[in-house]
Amino acid sequence: MTPRTFTLLLSATLLISCGQSKPVVISQSRDLTAPERKPILGATAQDRFQFAMPAPAAQEPSPAANSGPRLAWDTPPGWKETPHPMRDVSLSFGDGGECSVVRAGGSLVDNVNRWRKQMGLEAISEQDAASLPTRILFGGPGVLVELDGSYQAMGTPSATPGYRMIGVILPVPSANSAIFVKMVGPRALVEGNEAAFEAFCDSLRIVNS
Amino acid sequence: MKRFPTALLLLACCGLADAAYTPWPKQAVQSFSRIPVLSEGRVKPLQTVAYYTLLELQGRTTLKTRIAGGSVKLSASEWLMDAIFRPDLSKDYPIFLIDDTSAVRSLDLVISGKRKRDRFSYSELLPVRAKLANLASTYAQKKAREEKLTALEEQVLILGGKVNDYEMLVASLSPAQPNRLINTSMLPPDMAQLAAKMRLSEFLGMAPKLPVEAIEAMMQRDREQMTEDERQVLTAMMLVYFFHKTGTLLTLFPPPDPQRAEWVSLGELVGDAIGKEKTERAWELERLALVEKVAQSTGDPSAFSNNMEALRSRIQSDASARKEAGQIETELRLYNGKYLDNAKAWFIAAFLFVILMWLGPMTTPGKVFTVLAIWCGVFGFISLVAGMLLRSQIRGWAPITNLYETFLFISASAFVFGLLFERSNRQRIALSAGIFVPTLCLILSGQFLLISPEDTLPPLVAVLRSNFWLTTHVITVTLGYSAGLLAAVIASIWIVARFFRIAESRRDVYRDATKMTYGIILFSLLFSLVGTVLGGIWANYSWGRFWGWDPKENGALMIVLWTLVILHARLGGYIRDIGLHVMAVLQGVIISFSWFGVNAMGVGLHSYGFIAGIWTALGIAWGVMAVIIAMAAGLKFRESQSAPHPGPAGELPRRRANAI
Amino acid sequence: MAKSKTLALTWDNLPEIGLRVLTSFGLASGVLALLTLVTLLGTLNQIEEGLIDSTAKYFESAWIIDTIPIGKVTIPVFLPGGYLLLAILFFNILAGTIVKIRRNWKAIGLYVSHIGILILIFSSFVTRHFAWEGNMALRPGMQSSEALHYRNWQIEILPVNAQGEASKALIIPHGDLETIGWKGQRTFTSPDLPFDVRIRHAARNATPIPISAPMAAKSDTPAVDGFKLLELPKEKEAERNSAGFYAEFLPKNGEPPIPAILWAHLGGNFAEVKPFTLRTDGKTFAVQVVRERMAIPFTIKLDQFLFEKYAGVMTAKNYQSNITKLEDGREEKIEVKMNEPFRHRGYTFFQASFGPPNAGPDDELYTVFTVWKNPSDHWPLFSLLITFAGLLTHMGWKLADHLRRSTRTA
């Protein structure tokens, strides 16, 4: 009796003694098509599950969700919270000014250009993006973006001229993601609220509750 | 005259201007109505756009209002002409219908003298325009997140949509008349000033090439660093940009490039022009100038008519060059001939004669009323069929392609069935039902349009584009609906008449009516069965499965199954006359569910015409049917009390299987 | 013949009573009425549960056990299912047709039409048990000879050689996985593999969840590589479910078990599959969850996809795929359009849809075919023709009768 047969027998006996059903013999197979013959090997769990998305039903607040680390900030005077499902923080001020914190993936230049496109501006190169000024966010080096243009909010048919956008992007390479803080609104309004925005950025922090 | 104070003179002039509404010259209205426009996937006359927009805004297709003390009635085209060319006058027309005016109060608008369901004018809403837009967009987002809106929020959302649609429609010709903006507060003062005196075709005739993107880039620049000249150019260019972005709703101009599928709106035309070299703008400038001429000649009836006709014939020949002229004349004939309205009127008249006839069926007046009812019905039928034929001619498809058209087809076919069965026993029951069904259906078709005020001749989705299946499956199934509804109505008449002991001694009449109901049910079975299986075969050709348990399929199946239940229960002797009629009424419930209910469920492949408000109507119909079934139960109870009688009137003997 | 003579309920009479019941109009009416009711309930149920689950629960089942909420009241439902009812109806019609209908020429139409209905019911039975439905998505220039199931997933184990290449996949089929459930477990073995596979949790719809996420507390699987598996409620549209399994690989050489979360991500039609890499006993295996697939004995290549919409609206006017069929070295050009499928050797290709969703004007579009293999493909058509002929014949007889009688009375 070879060791393997022994093991097999042993495990079979164990299985039966555990009251489990017999192993099912795998009887089907198929020949792989050409593009399938070189499977991607060594993918990490992060790679394999990068598209995993909690379903809407799973988003209901659970007791667990209320504990653990969470985002905290100080709402500047005169601003008010306008909760938004796609944003971590969503605030509004004045007539048409808004400010948000979101997390999302993508490279720095792509994200800067996404904002530039919203403001009706030309895309810039990776080098240009790398030379943007920095601003500290969560204690890390964020990238400061200031844009003037005609703003076209997502889902709106047309752009409104005379808008200003100020944003900070903090890349988080370990999570292949980035944190975005953005203020946008009519130019005069945004200019009047720049100090508040500064204070807001400084107040952003992670707390444990 | 010198002694006449100027103020008084002014007042007199105002009085004069106010004295009466100046109607548009007839010819101009005709030309305007016939301008082809590409809207929602189809080339149609501008009148049709006006018609459905007015229906959507104010729930009617003509406008009645008081102007300067006088009452005025405007057709949809005349209203649209006022809206576009006389914004100062038309902004006071009460066109925004709202079901619950308290929704407007939530906008902080003080209103008085309005009923719960009432209409507002644009001027009345103007003070809260911005707030309305904000709230409506908030609620639209809420709805997009699938959150439930309160009834008032829903009303605000609808009103916001209406005001927006109206502004877009009016703005669609603004590039040709910058001085007639409906709401100048949309623009900064310098731009508004310029707009009041600008003529865009002249400006575009000399302005340098500056693509829209370049204008956008220019708007980014710091104005502090600009020279005064540059600033003036910028203001003008921003105005061009404004018109380019806002004048987009009516796509009126067939482009010369055959590759370009979409027609061009005046706004796009302006954007195209400024993006080209000065010398290459002839096509755009010519068309813009045509519209400008119309806009500038509103005070001169004959010039206005001529200019309107010149614009129309230019667009028409541009469209013909692309072979996209559409069926403008046919469509105008359909709407202006009022075929469907007339059919409704004839059938209502016929129905009134039917009621009069039943007051004394055997008397001479009763016979006269019968003849009158038949003739009114025939005229209604002819008018209806003519309307349906025109509709088919406009698009080249079989008569039933959407829910609205089922009303028309069921009306026509139920009348034919009614007459056919009337011939067999001449008791005027089939005739009455055959007139009642179209009357009801045509009234409902009008209500349906109010719930869903959209063009009833929309382009067909890919799967429906097959006249073979549209004629075989759709028509057969609809004939099954029609016969089943007729049977349900006759059964209802039977039950109600028996319940109220009408002509109780005429057992032969009741017996014949029972036979007839049964015959119509068999008729309906033939059509439903064949139509349903044909639908399966069609599904097998287009979706790859014969049967998918989709709601509409199930609705048709339920009709077939229930007819088979009636058939076999009758053969087995389980139901007699009352039972048969009750089951026929239930068949009516099932048909109405299959016809509308599944569309209102909002699931499945077949929900081409989804309507939310339909459940109320169904609830009423089913309530009535429930009362009739309760009457039948009462009848049954009464009969069981007087059981010794050798069998109720109209009892059918039990039969053998092949004696169907 | 159909004189109803009352029969006493005795053993001797039992066969005749049975036959009477089986052939009775009462049974026919009852079954048809129940079918009407089941169809209604199964239709309404789709608002809550979607088409696929409702179909399984109401129309393909022997019994229906469900609850229907009406306002605040919940009504329990216990009814025979559509499958059982159709089966009873089939035998009722069969027996009734043989026994009941009078054997003379006048009844021929009834015979024929009932035979047509029998064929229809039988073809639905064949479709239910022997048909296979899937889809094939192709970009222009791409070719394929297999179709993927819309909803069923299978686990595949690919032995990989030293060059990183695999030539075949061992398959744990959907049927074996489906019945495991979240709480159950099942072990799979193969003489070709140096390990057994034990599935300890299986869910039709699931997601891996990082243990750092608050939601991870809801999962009862052990953590592997920083992830747990969380069972999710089933989607209303069944093809949006992505199956997940918590598996353990049990090396036959006695080494400790290797746990893994296996998950199928939907990821669109051409998503890259990233398998779990298993290294044991000096060998490498790729383990992946993929859609159940059907091999097609010929190859389809997409040459061009044409899409036409109406101007100014999003309504599709027509879409069409120009394909080449490659078989035994021969090529054939074929157009597949809406309402004009392509049939070949028992396989049918329908123009089902196209993508990508929200494509811009310049994006390259791909086509999606629904692929059916259905032995009873055309039977409903035969059934319809037979039934229709039967009904017409019968009506003809009736009409002739009627006319003869009216002439006599006149």
Chains that touch B (3 or more CB pairs under 8 A): A, C
pLDDT the model gives residue B175:
93
Among the listed residues C28, C30, C89, C126, the one whose alpha carbon sits nearest the alpha carbon of residue B547? C126
Please report, for chain B, the start and end positions of each structural domain, with discontinuous segments joined by +.
48-169, 178-321, 397-649
C157 token code pair: 């184990």
Q: What is the mean pLDDT of residues C190-213?
A: 89
pLDDT tens column, A151-168: 876 545 567 788 899 999
Interface of C with A in 292-311 (CB under 8 A): 293, 295
Cβ within 8 Å, pair B465-C339: yes
pLDDT tens column, B84-115: 999 989 999 999 998 888 888 888 887 778 88
Whole-angstrom distance, CA of residue B289 vs CA of residue B312: 13
Long-range contacts of C48-54 (CB under 8 A, 24+ apart): C49/C236, C50/B603, C50/C235, C50/C236, C50/C237, C50/C238, C51/B548, C51/B549, C51/B550, C51/B603, C51/B604, C51/C237, C51/C238, C52/C151, C52/C237, C52/C238, C53/C234, C53/C238, C54/B549
Cβ within 8 Å, pair A44-C267: no
In chain B, residues with a C-beta closer than 8 Å to the C-beta of C341 are: 541-542, 544
What is each CA distance from B586 to B553, B562, C144, in whole angstroms? 19, 9, 52
pLDDT the model gives residue B424:
81
- C-alpha angle B74/B49/B321, rounded to 5°? 125
Cα torsion angle, C330, C332, C336, C339, sign: negative
High-pLDDT (> 90) share of chain A, %: 5
B547 at the C interface (CB within 8 A)?
yes
- A29 φ/ψ angles, rounded to the nearest 5 degrees: -155, 165
What is each CA distance from C215 to A177, B28, C175, C222, C259, in whole angstroms? 20, 68, 30, 14, 21
Q: Please say if the pLDDT value at position A25 is more than 60.
A: yes
b/e map C116-146, b = 16+ CB within 10 Å: bbbbbbbbbeebeeebebbbbbbeeeeebbb
pLDDT the model gives residue A21:
65
- Range of the structural domain that residue A136 is part of: 76-204
Per-residue pLDDT band at B21 (split at 50, 70, 90): confident
What is each CA distance from B230 to B132, B235, B237, in whole angstroms? 36, 9, 10
- Selecting from B462, B542, B574 the residue whose C-beta is nearest the C-beta of C316 gives B462
In chain A, residues with a C-beta closer than 8 Å to the C-beta of C267 are: 51
Q: Is C390 exposed, middle or buried (0-12, 13-18, 19+ CB in 10 A)?
A: buried
Cβ within 8 Å, pair B219-A161: yes
pLDDT tens column, B472-523: 899 999 999 999 999 999 999 999 999 998 888 888 889 989 999 999 998 8
In a domain, residue A113? The reply is yes
pLDDT the model gives residue B450:
84
Cβ within 8 Å, pair A149-B245: no
In chain A, residues with a C-beta closer than 8 Å to the C-beta of B136 are: none
User: Global pTM?
Assistant: 0.77
B283 token code pair: 């096509």
pLDDT tens column, B250-299: 999 999 988 888 899 999 999 999 999 988 999 999 999 999 999 999 99
Per-residue pLDDT band at C31 (split at 50, 70, 90): very high
Whole-angstrom distance, CA of residue C2 vs CA of residue B659: 12
Contact B652, B570 (CB under 8 A): yes
User: How many structural domains are present in chain A?
Assistant: 1
C11 token code pair: 């053993």
Whole-angstrom distance, CA of residue B272 vs CA of residue B210: 10
pLDDT the model gives residue C38:
94
Q: Is the peptide bond before B5 cis (omega within 30 degrees of 0)?
A: no
Residue B60, number of CB atoms within 10 A of its CB: 14
How close B40 comes to chain C (CA, Å)? 5
pLDDT the model gives residue B224:
65
b/e map A182-198, b = 16+ CB within 10 Å: bbbbbeebbeebeebbe
Q: Give the range among A157-161, B415-419, C280-284 with minimum mean pLDDT.
A: A157-161
C164 at the A interface (CB within 8 A)?
yes
- Sheet strand arrangement including C258-263: A24-25, C186-189, C195-203, C244-251, C258-263
pLDDT tens column, B582-632: 999 999 999 998 887 777 665 544 443 345 567 778 888 899 999 999 999
Beta-strand (E) ranges in C27-112? 63-70, 73-80
Whole-angstrom distance, CA of residue B32 vs CA of residue C129: 62
High-pLDDT (> 90) share of chain C, %: 37
Q: Please say if the pLDDT value at position A56 is more than 50.
A: no
In chain B, residues with a C-beta closer than 8 Å to the C-beta of A159 are: 216
pLDDT the model gives residue A57:
35
DSSP C340: B
pLDDT tens column, B195-212: 888 889 988 988 888 888
In a domain, residue A32? The reply is no
Contact C324, C332 (CB under 8 A): yes
Residue B554, number of CB atoms within 10 A of its CB: 29
How many Cβ contacts (< 8 angstroms) between chains B and C? Answer: 175
* Cβ within 8 Å of residue C9, ≥6 positions away: C17
- Averaged pLDDT of chain A: 75
Question: What ipTM, to 2 d.p.?
Answer: 0.84
pLDDT the model gives residue B222:
66
- The helix (run of H) or strand (run of E) holding residue B582 is helix B577-592
Whole-angstrom distance, CA of residue C324 vs CA of residue C322: 7
* Best residue in C36, C89, C315, C373 for a mutation probing chain B (most B CBs within 10 Å): C36
CATH of the domain at A160: 3.40.1000.10
pLDDT the model gives residue C50:
78
Per-residue pLDDT band at A68 (split at 50, 70, 90): low
Q: Where are the alpha helices (DSSP H) in chain A?
A: 3-17, 45-48, 63-66, 108-118, 126-130, 187-192, 194-203
pLDDT the model gives residue B3:
45
pLDDT the model gives residue A133:
86
High-pLDDT (> 90) share of chain B, %: 49
pLDDT tens column, B149-207: 888 888 888 899 999 999 999 999 999 998 888 887 777 777 888 888 888 998 898 88
pLDDT the model gives residue C267:
63
SS3 sequence of B235-267: HHHHHHHHHHHHCCCCEEECCCCCCCCCCEEHH
Per-residue pLDDT band at B138 (split at 50, 70, 90): confident
- C-alpha angle B213/B216/B221, rounded to 5°? 130
Whole-angstrom distance, CA of residue B406 vs CA of residue B410: 6
CA C16 to chain centre: 40
Q: What number of CA atoms fall less than 13 Å from residue B518's CA on the CB side? A: 24
B323 at the C interface (CB within 8 A)?
no
Q: Which of A3-17, B120-134, B145-159 has the highest mean pLDDT?
A: B120-134
Q: Please say if the pLDDT value at position C99 is more than 50.
A: yes
Q: Please say if the pLDDT value at position B423 is more than 70.
A: yes
In a domain, residue A49? The reply is no
In angstroms and rounded to an integer, the radius of gyration of the C-alpha atoms of chain C is 28
pLDDT higher at B25 or A40: B25
- Averaged pLDDT of chain B: 86
Whole-angstrom distance, CA of residue B617 vs CA of residue C317: 33
pLDDT the model gives residue B80:
96
pLDDT the model gives residue B6:
47
Give the nearest chain B residue to C380 (CA atoms): B537
Q: What number of CA atoms fall less than 13 Å from residue C23's CA on the CB side? A: 18
pLDDT tens column, B303-313: 999 999 999 99
In chain B, residues with a C-beta closer than 8 Å to the C-beta of A148 are: 220
